[in-house]
Amino acid sequence: MDQIHLMQVFSAVGEEESFAAAARRLELSPAAVTRAIAALEQQLSVRLLLRTTRSVRLTEAGRRYLDDVRQILSSIAEANQAAAGVNAAPKGNLSVTAPVLFGKNFIMPSITRYLQDYPEVQVSAYFLDRIVNLVDEGMDVAVRIGHLPDSSLKALRVGQVRRVLCAAPAYLAKHGVPQHPADLLQHTVIAASSISPRVEWKFGAVDDPTLVRLKPRLTVTSNDAAIDAAVSGLGICRLLSYQIAGELADGRLKIVLPDYEEAPWPVHVLHRESKFGSAKVRHFIDLLAANLRAHPHLNPHPVFPSA
């Protein structure tokens, strides 16, 4: 059988973890998928999949091979696009990931415009408050907030945000405005983080931070819920500036302890390294980067009201 065909079938089975689902995705019969996997395993002389009556799982060799196959198939697709001409209209599927609120407020306008401009593209947007591995999870473009580890990914800086403390004016009027991070021990704290009885907040320079261990009155895993609690006047919360830009602008929240903030966090657009220029990725990144760099909440010196 054709090697590329075998790789495409294996990639579909490995990603779907199901022969039937892979068959539907590829518009093949289940028997054809089964024959392709058997032929590939015979060719390689290695077991790639563990099958039971209820599940399909990758072996260790299968996981490594799937990573390689994804890169090969991606390179083939990009080479075909390059051969068709650099001015070819974008087409195909584009996968994009970003944090939840950032995706909703900053990425969706670019996606909407992109789809209007290029009717032959389909976009899958994954807005998740976790780090998504572009290679393992098959993403084309990601937006990351914070300092990046070294990697083979290409990164384009498009702005920055601040990590800020905030509270409702009514709360500050009743309980006072903290003047030092240690004053937070006397205040009601809202934590937007993983569920934990205590949190540790750092303030100031990275090389000489002030650390304050706090016991929040409320801990939630949803930034939206933390914002609602802060706006209601429950207490002081720590969030990223873009997450509360609207509440700061209309006065429902105010910044607390601005002089003790950490250095701003960079915002990057990431994509996988490639020697070929994928038209769909290149056009989307150009549009997204231009829109993000022009956004007032991501410029180098945003001005927000403080208490």
Amino acid 256: pLDDT:
95
For domain 92-161+265-298, which CATH number applies: 3.40.50.970, 3.40.630.10, 3.40.190.10, 1.10.3720.10?
3.40.190.10
Q: What is the pLDDT of residue 143?
A: 94
Average pLDDT, the chain: 87
pLDDT of amino acid 301: 52
User: Each residue of 221-240: b (16+ CB within 10 Å) or e?
Assistant: eebeebbebbbebbbbbbbb
pLDDT value at 197 more than 70: no
Largest CA distance in the chain: 75
Asked if domains 3-84 and 92-161+265-298 share a fold, the reply is no
Q: Is the pLDDT of residue 139 over 60?
A: yes
Neighbours of 107 (CB within 10 A): 22
Residue 36, exposed/middle/buried by CB under 10 A (0-12, 13-18, 19+)? Answer: buried
Q: Is 242 exposed, middle or buried (0-12, 13-18, 19+ CB in 10 A)?
A: buried
Separation in Å, CA 146 to CA 149, 161, 220, 258: 10, 9, 21, 19
Compute how many other C-beta atoms are within 10 angstroms of the C-beta atom of residue 9: 25
pLDDT-derived band at 302, boundaries 50, 70, 90: very low
Binned at pLDDT 50, 70 and 90, residue 73 comes out as: confident
Question: Would you say residue 140 has pLDDT above 80?
Answer: yes
For the residues 171-197, what does the mean pLDDT come to? Answer: 88
Name the CATH topology of 163-260: D-Maltodextrin-Binding Protein; domain 2 (3.40.190)
Q: Residue 266: phi, psi to the nearest 5?
A: -75, 155
pLDDT at 209: 80
pTM over 0.85: no
Q: pLDDT tens-digit profile of 228-286? A: 999 999 999 999 999 998 999 999 999 999 999 888 899 999 987 565 557 888 899 99
Tell me the pLDDT band of 90, cut-offs 50, 70 and 90: confident
Cα separation of 199 and 3, whole Å? 53
Q: Could you tell me which CATH number the domain at 3-84 has?
A: 1.10.10.10
Mean local confidence (pLDDT), 59-70: 90
pLDDT of 54 higher than 90: no
Q: Does the pLDDT value for residue 120 go beyond 70?
A: yes
Residues 160-196 as b/e (b if ≥16 CB within 10 A, e otherwise) read bbbbbbbbbeebbeeeebbeebeebeebbbbbbeeee
Other CB atoms within 10 Å distance of the CB of residue 117: 13
- Residue 115 carries which DSSP code? H
Segments making up each domain of the chain, as ranges: 3-84, 92-161+265-298, 163-260
Instruction: Output the pLDDT for position 300.
Output: 46
Query: Which pLDDT tens digit goes with each residue over 93-113?
Result: 999 999 988 999 999 999 999
Residue for token digits 């004016």? 169
Q: How confident is the model at residue 226 (pLDDT cuts 50, 70, 90)?
A: very high
Q: What is the mean pLDDT of residues 207-218?
A: 87
Relative orientation angle of helices 108-117 and 279-293, to the nearest 10 degrees: 130
